[in-house]
A and B are shown apart, each in its own frame.
Chain A
Amino acid sequence: MSVFGIIRIALKSLTRNKTRTFLTMLGIIIGVAAVITMLAIGQGAKKIVEDQVNSMGTNVIMITVNFTQSGSNVRQAAGSGNLLELADVEAIRNQVDRVLYASPVYNTFGQLKYEGNNWRTGVMGVDADYFFIRDMKVSSGDLFHASDVENGAKVCVIGKTVADNLFGDIDPVDKIIRIRNIPFTIKGVLVSKGQNVMGSDQDDTVIAPYTTVYARLLGQHWRNMMVLVSAQSKEDIPLVQQDILDLLQGRHRGTTSEEFAVRTQTDLADTANKVSNTLTILLASIAGISLLVGGIGIMNIMLVSVTERIKEIGIRMAVGAGKRDVMLQFIIEAAAISIMGGFLGILLGFGAAKVVGDIMKWSVAVTPWSVLLSVGFSMAIGVFFGWYPASKAANLNLIDALRYE
């Protein structure tokens, strides 16, 4: 008896019990679909995080002050530091190798006014390099340039959220808004970036030259500053990171390396990835359990099926089926159920992933390896859970089986 022939026998007997076969399959269908959908959602979440991290810019290094330590070991609150100076930015730009751009970043808040509308948002004071570091572009108008920074020009670019709230349908370019009553000319509107990793709106922002912000909005006492640096390539980041730390420590005597926080987007990405990986594993293991339950369903039905078909097994053995033939037939039946179920589950999983993606507006991605995984898993389940009922069938006593009523 060829294996091919037994496959035919097995498939034939499955088609004779269509309802039962389908119901058994359902467990696997749902299990596989769940695994695929969950993994797709996990992948989608990962992709969103990746996009958000990338929206920070390319090869970005962020330098902030962790805390400051006054002479007698009294630590001040994080971010309260007045350690970083504009001169540090210059030093980083000029003295550290493989630094492409560097820009100071001053953060403040301000009430914005345009005619009857007003809006409160964060105002950033940056160098013109900032746009290159963060890979920012304008959707209309223009960015401000190094000359604007040098001159302390009262110009700014605004994010889409600000533009929508202050101007509505009007084109904001070349209009004058008041930030804390100081008039700024809008040079351009930025291309929308969406939410950042932390979930805040990156389009709800006003960006102006740091010289202007520093002089007009902050006042001399304000020195809380962050430095944003762009390395030449991804591979350079760790080296540049260390060089900056060494440089800053050299420039500020008596500081420890712990006082400066030199972080990169990879650090952020790693944290975010850890979260989304945990989520994916959690979702996939729940789905995996449903696949397992589906497998036990197969075993259950196959056991019932063996009992129900004892006489059939007896007849088959009487006309010449050996133990091996009967065993193979039942294993193939179980495997066929799970493979078919796996296949339908993949289709259903694709569909469900698409629906979820559409509803949540996520780019839900079904990966080939998740398909391979669930097909392999469902096949293994079929053979594994088919084994016991099959061996039960194969070891039936011929005469007892024939006389079974």
Chain B
Amino acid sequence: MVKQLLQTQNLSKTYTMGDIHVHALRGIDLSINEGEFIAIMGASGSGKTTFMNLLGCLDKPSSGSYILDEIPVHTINEMDLAQIRNQKIGYVFQSFYLLPRTTALENVELPLLYCRKCNLHERHEKAMHALTVVGIKDRAKHFPNQLSGGQQQRVAIARAIVNNPVFILADEPTGNLDTRTSVEVMAVFQELHREGKTIVLVTHENDIAQYADRQITFRDGRIISDKINPNPRIAIDDLAKLPRLDEEE
């Protein structure tokens, strides 16, 4: 039996700007099971970013419920929400969001620093392990500005998985990367997925969404399609077909 990881019911978000109410999300009912690789698609203004913010506990819904790993997150306070973000969710952002003048290793250690239950002594080991998983262990002591875009995104992925979250939330993770690097990053995600991680990927690129095995499309604050992708593309196979670039010098 597949375990249900998260469930939203009638999840809505309304922004108020002066007298105008903007309905960014108009009642989303969605459930995601453990081990799924989901692509959330939609044009800009479709509400997918708002949905991602709610899913990632970065923002609170105006109405509706959101249950994550059996926790009703729509009811809990900000302080505990910080711990939910820390324990349950790993984030990967479009522009990496690594701390400048901070080594890759220290960046990966960051979530562990804010973790109440974590053993600080294992911090180093866990961070090194995460870097090994994404394949850039040898760049641990480098600063972000000494790394290529693809490498920076790998560091960001390592940071997302270091605390062993229940799911990884990636917001346009390939938006700032060239085609080959994008596919490389997708290969990392597929590898993590193969190991059993749940991944929610927000993208507006159809090509990228093809690597996921479930595709959800947003428009005007609503889900307009939710379909299983029977034959997801295999990133490693695609990588072999792509011409080599001198990017990883």
Binding site for B on A (CB under 8 A): 1, 5, 8-9, 12, 16, 311-312, 314-325, 398-399, 402
List 20 contacting pairs A-B, 8 Å CB cutoff, sorted by A. Answer: A1-B113, A1-B116, A5-B120, A8-B113, A9-B113, A16-B102, A315-B97, A315-B98, A315-B110, A319-B91, A319-B159, A320-B85, A320-B86, A320-B87, A320-B111, A320-B115, A320-B163, A322-B78, A322-B82, A323-B78
Q: Which B residues touch A322, using CB under 8 A?
A: 78-79, 82-83, 114
Q: Are A399 and B85 within 8 A (Cβ)?
A: no
* A265 CA to B115 CA, complexed, in Å: 69
Q: Are A321 and B82 within 8 A (Cβ)?
A: yes
Closest 3 CB pairs of A and B: A320-B86, A322-B82, A320-B114
Q: Are A317 and B99 within 8 A (Cβ)?
A: no
* A398 CA to B114 CA, complexed, in Å: 16
Q: Which A residues touch B116, using CB under 8 A?
A: 1
Most A CB within 10 A of own CB, among B59, B91, B110: B110
Question: Nearest residue in B to A405 (C-beta to C-beta)?
Answer: B95
Q: Are B114 and A402 within 8 A (Cβ)?
A: no
Query: Given the interface contacts A1-B115, A16-B101, A318-B91, does A323 sit within 8 Å of B58 by beta carbon?
Result: no
Bits for B52-66, please: 1 = Cβ < 8 Å to A, else 0: 010010110000000
Question: Nearest residue in A to B85 (C-beta to C-beta)?
Answer: A320
Query: Given the interface contacts A319-B159, A320-B115, does A399 sit within 8 Å of B97 by beta carbon?
Result: no
Query: Given the interface contacts A16-B101, A320-B82, A320-B86, does A399 sit within 8 Å of B120 by beta carbon?
Result: no
* A398 CA to B58 CA, complexed, in Å: 7
Q: Are B59 and A316 within 8 A (Cβ)?
A: no
Chain B interface residue count, Cβ-Cβ cutoff 8 angstroms: 29
* A398 CA to B83 CA, complexed, in Å: 14
Query: Given the interface contacts A9-B113, A322-B79, A323-B79, does A315 sit within 8 Å of B85 by beta carbon?
Result: no
Q: Are B102 and A324 within 8 A (Cβ)?
A: no
Partner of B114, one of A1, A12, A311, A399: A1
* A8 CA to B114 CA, complexed, in Å: 12
Q: Which B residues touch A318, using CB under 8 A?
A: 56, 58, 85, 91, 97
Other A-B pairs beyond A320-B114, A322-B83, 10, CB < 8 Å: A312-B99, A312-B100, A315-B97, A318-B56, A318-B91, A319-B85, A320-B111, A325-B114, A399-B59, A402-B58
Q: Are B53 and A399 within 8 A (Cβ)?
A: yes
For chain B, residues 33 to 62, give those with C-beta under 8 angstroms from any C-beta of chain A: 53, 56, 58-59
Question: Nearest residue in A to B81 (C-beta to C-beta)?
Answer: A322
Q: Which B residues touch A16, using CB under 8 A?
A: 101-102
Q: Which B residues touch A321, using CB under 8 A?
A: 82, 114
Distance in angstroms from A240 CB to nearest chain B CB is 72
Question: Nearest residue in A to B88 (C-beta to C-beta)?
Answer: A320
Q: Which B residues touch A5, using CB under 8 A?
A: 113, 120
* A325 CA to B93 CA, complexed, in Å: 22
Question: Nearest residue in B to A9 (C-beta to C-beta)?
Answer: B113
Distance in angstroms from B146 CB to nearest chain A CB is 15
Distance in angstroms from B88 CB to nearest chain A CB is 10
Q: Which A residues touch B114, using CB under 8 A?
A: 1, 316, 319-322, 325
Q: Are B99 and A315 within 8 A (Cβ)?
A: yes
Q: Are A319 and B78 within 8 A (Cβ)?
A: no
* A315 CA to B87 CA, complexed, in Å: 15
Q: Which A residues touch B100, using CB under 8 A?
A: 312
Q: Are B97 and A311 within 8 A (Cβ)?
A: yes
Query: Given the interface contacts A9-B113, A398-B58, A399-B53, does A320 sit within 8 Å of B83 by beta carbon?
Result: yes
* A320 CA to B163 CA, complexed, in Å: 11
Question: Nearest residue in B to A397 (C-beta to C-beta)?
Answer: B59
* A9 CA to B87 CA, complexed, in Å: 19
Query: Given the interface contacts A320-B85, A320-B115, does A398 sit within 8 Å of B120 by beta carbon?
Result: no
Distance in angstroms from A327 CB to nearest chain B CB is 12
Q: Which B residues touch A1, using CB under 8 A?
A: 113-116
Question: Nearest residue in B to A317 (C-beta to C-beta)?
Answer: B82
Distance in angstroms from B97 CB to nearest chain A CB is 5
Question: Nearest residue in B to A398 (C-beta to C-beta)?
Answer: B58
Distance in angstroms from B235 CB to nearest chain A CB is 26
Q: Which A residues touch B86, using CB under 8 A?
A: 319-320
Most A CB within 10 A of own CB, among B85, B87, B102, B116: B85
Q: Which B residues touch A399, using CB under 8 A?
A: 53, 58-59
Q: Which B residues touch A325, using CB under 8 A?
A: 82, 114
* A354 CA to B43 CA, complexed, in Å: 72
Q: Which B residues touch A315, using CB under 8 A?
A: 97-99, 110
Distance in angstroms from A307 CB to nearest chain B CB is 15
Q: Which A residues touch B111, using CB under 8 A?
A: 319-320
* A402 CA to B83 CA, complexed, in Å: 18
Most A CB within 10 A of own CB, among B82, B101, B115: B82
Question: Nearest residue in A to B82 (C-beta to C-beta)?
Answer: A322
* A322 CA to B84 CA, complexed, in Å: 11
Most B CB within 10 A of own CB, among A1, A317, A319, A398: A319
Q: Which B residues touch A317, using CB under 8 A?
A: 82, 85
Bits for B92-129, please: 1 = Cβ < 8 Å to A, else 0: 01000111111000100011011110001000000000
* A317 CA to B58 CA, complexed, in Å: 9
* A133 CA to B159 CA, complexed, in Å: 83
* A347 CA to B223 CA, complexed, in Å: 67
Q: Which A residues touch B78, using CB under 8 A?
A: 322-323
Q: Which A residues touch B102, using CB under 8 A?
A: 12, 16
For chain B, residues 114 to 166, give those with C-beta under 8 angstroms from any C-beta of chain A: 114-116, 120, 159, 163
